[in-house]
Amino acid sequence: MSYKAGFIGLVGLPNAGKSSLANMVVGSKFSIVCSKAQTTRRRVMGIYNDDECQFVITDAPGVVGTTSGLNTFLQEEYRDVMDKSDVLLACLNLDANNPETLTSICEAVKAQNKPWAIAITKVDLPKIHRISILRELFSGYGVPVVGVSTETDIKSHTEVLIDLFKTLLPEATAPMYPTDSYTTESVRDLSAELVREKCFKYLHDEIPYGLATQVRKFEEGAALQKIFVDIVVERDSHKSMVIGRNGEHLKRIGMEARKDIEQVTGTKVYLELHVAVKDKWTRNPMQLKDFGYVVRKQN
């Protein structure tokens, strides 16, 4: 078999399981995971390597319906992943409320005129009867349709996806990235994202959308990395909720994030968190830019 390499874009609704799927395929955690929608805000890239191929799997923000404030950036990231990927995977979650929204995903992917396939995600859920319904519904596209779970039979589902990608990827003369890499993310960016993941996991539903994380200072040492992260919210009332009574919430977020960062870096980590308030930052172009949410195309 000839060597293959390319970029694979995951496209789907918010909370369709794209991040979990990407982490499973790569075999290492590079994209944050949470049950809340819109966990992914910018494209995150993981790298898979074996003797036959290298692919960069891109976890794009879920499709959103509005285009104001932060959502403008999310929409642009989604479109850019569609444009720049060599292969697209439509991730259709089994628990979607409306099949028409899944059809719109497939239509958008098909319109790119690129090699693509369909992955029905979350097939471990009790709604197993929906799998045959969705398979029949989307069989007319004439592309491969696979069912995957990131919770059960992980090895088998991973192999199915990797084999599928190998049939769709373009041929290449060499890898695009060093073969010992598993992500294009820096430790600095991963640290901020892992703190944000824990915030999404433990805080109330109304907080995460208006919450961002930013590494204020990063001191790298041979035996210890010191990382100082700001957690930014939009309201004073949210600040107290993030901190919690006697600092309980902030302590829990910090402890769990530190463990994940240490696992990623393979070194001891000192992690210090600070909570700040920036009023209406999600609607302020300058503050959005400060957090790296830069809109490049103006409509």
The whole-number pLDDT of residue 107 equals 94
Q: Does the pLDDT of residue 35 top 50, yes or no?
A: no
The reply to whether 111 and 197 lie within a common domain is no
CATH number of domain containing 238: 3.30.300.20
pLDDT band at 62 (very low <50, low <70, confident <90, very high): low
pLDDT band at 239 (very low <50, low <70, confident <90, very high): very high
Q: Give the containing element (helix H, strand E) for 225.
A: strand 224-233
The reply to whether 31 and 139 lie within a common domain is yes
CA distance 46 to 37: 21
The reply to whether 148 and 217 lie within a common domain is no
The whole-number pLDDT of residue 181 equals 85
Region 12-31 average pLDDT: 85
Terminal Cα-to-Cα distance of the chain (whole angstroms)? 44
The reply to whether 11 and 119 lie within a common domain is yes
Cα–Cα distances (Å) from 290 to 105, 120, 227, 293, 295, in that order, read 31, 36, 19, 7, 12
Which domain covers residue 244, as residue numbers?
Answer: 187-290
Spell out a b/e string for 31-59, using b for 16 or more CB atoms within 10 Å of the CB, else e: bbbbeebbbbbbbbbbbbbeeebbbbbbb
The whole-number pLDDT of residue 205 equals 64
Region 211-233 average pLDDT: 91
**By percentage, how much of the chain surpasses pLDDT 70?**
85
Taking only the tens place, the pLDDT of each residue in 143-199 is 999 999 998 999 999 999 999 999 999 999 999 999 988 888 888 888 998 998 899
Given a contact cutoff of 8 angstroms between Cβ atoms, the answer to whether 200 and 39 are in contact is yes
**Which residues are 118's β-sheet partners?**
90, 145
Give the pTM: 0.76
Overall domain count for the chain: 2
**Which residues are 45's β-sheet partners?**
58
The reply to whether 162 and 275 lie within a common domain is no
CA distance 182 to 163: 18
Region 198-220 average pLDDT: 83
